[in-house]
């Protein structure tokens, strides 16, 4: 499934950076919102909300940290300096900035950066290792009377990437929920890690090491 297969209108979630398609059903591509506007997966044709972040818009910068509080000075005489007109440094011209949605300003810098990284990840396709491009997977049955089945390797690779992305979304939801205890989160994260470990056989298909599955480390 690729985004090029479907075009969304400007008022639909499919044009928002925070919505990511990871599966497909009768409604078309479906996926979650990284900021949790709706629970579960929903189609890209869903109407946008106040957290909408256009794919064409410039990526907003993270909210600046709060300035450090200055220690109060002891009371004392104050000095007032008067400058003659036309002298001195001119006052800086006011700058304009694009206001961020309230939901984004409430996020921490780390949460904001992670949401943007995940949103941008979909814009960069996961590359197949060059030696496997154009290859085929042959499923050969033990019964000689049954014909083998061939599967294009790029199609299989695409499904593997979808499984990987689905596991990452699950991991993010486990980390973000407040309905689980820390012990329950750790237990579920271990299950996800074991799933990654079961899929490391397919790491040979990934061109870049950063995209590969990582299981439990000894």
CA dist 171 and 191 (Å) reads: 10
pLDDT of residue 1: 46
Find, among 156, 152, 167, 146, the residue nearest to 213 by Cα. 167
139 - beta bridge partners? Answer: 149
The domain segmentation of the chain, as residue ranges, is 1-61+102-124, 127-218
Q: What number is the average pLDDT over the span 54-65?
A: 61
Confidence of residue 15 (pLDDT cuts 50, 70, 90): confident
**Residue 38 pLDDT:** 63
What are the tens digits of pLDDT across the range 166-203? 998 888 888 888 899 999 999 999 999 999 999 999 99
Q: How many helices (H) and strands (E) does the chain have?
A: 4, 5
pLDDT single digits (tens) 146-168 = 999 999 999 999 999 999 989 98
SS3 167: helix
Q: What is the mean pLDDT of the segment spanning 207-218? A: 83
The distance in angstroms from the start CA to the end CA of the chain is 36
What residues contact 214, with CB distance under 8 A and at least 6 apart? 196, 200
Structure tokens at 172: 């993010």
Q: What is the pLDDT of residue 7?
A: 81
How far, in Å, CA of 43 to CA of 28, rounded?
A: 7
Q: Which is more confident, 146 or 110?
A: 146
For residue 114, what pLDDT band results from cuts at 50, 70 and 90? low
What is the rounded distance in angstroms from the CA atom of residue 194 to the CA atom of residue 214? 9
Task: Work out the mean pLDDT of the chain and round it to a whole number.
Answer: 77
The DSSP bridge pattern shows strands 28-31 and 23-25 to be antiparallel
**Residue 80 neighbours by CB distance under 10 Å:** 4
């Amino acid at each position: 499934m690729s985004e090029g297969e479907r075009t969304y209108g400007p008022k639909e979630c499919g044009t928002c950076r925070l919505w990511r398609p990871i599966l497909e059903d009768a409604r078309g591509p479906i996926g979650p919102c990284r900021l949790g506007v709706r629970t579960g997966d929903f189609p890209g044709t869903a109407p946008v909300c106040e957290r909408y972040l256009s794919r064409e818009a410039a990526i907003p910068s993270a909210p600046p940290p709060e300035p450090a509080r200055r220690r109060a000075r002891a009371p004392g005489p104050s000095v007032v300096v008067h400058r003659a007109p036309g002298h001195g440094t001119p006052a800086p011209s006011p700058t304009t900035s694009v206001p961020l949605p309230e939901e984004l300003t409430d996020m921490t810098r780390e949460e904001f950066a992670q949401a943007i990284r995940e949103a941008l990840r979909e814009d960069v396709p996961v590359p197949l290792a060059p030696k496997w491009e154009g290859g085929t997977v042959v499923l050969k049955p033990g019964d000689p009377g049954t014909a083998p089945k061939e599967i294009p390797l790029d199609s299989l690779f695409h499904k593997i990437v979808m499984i990987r992305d689905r596991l990452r979304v699950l991991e993010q939801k486990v980390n973000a929920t407040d309905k689980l205890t820390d012990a329950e989160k750790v237990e579920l994260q271990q299950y996800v890690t074991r799933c990654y470990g079961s899929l490391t056989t397919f790491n040979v298909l990934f061109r870049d090491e950063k995209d590969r599955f990582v299981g439990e480390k000894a």
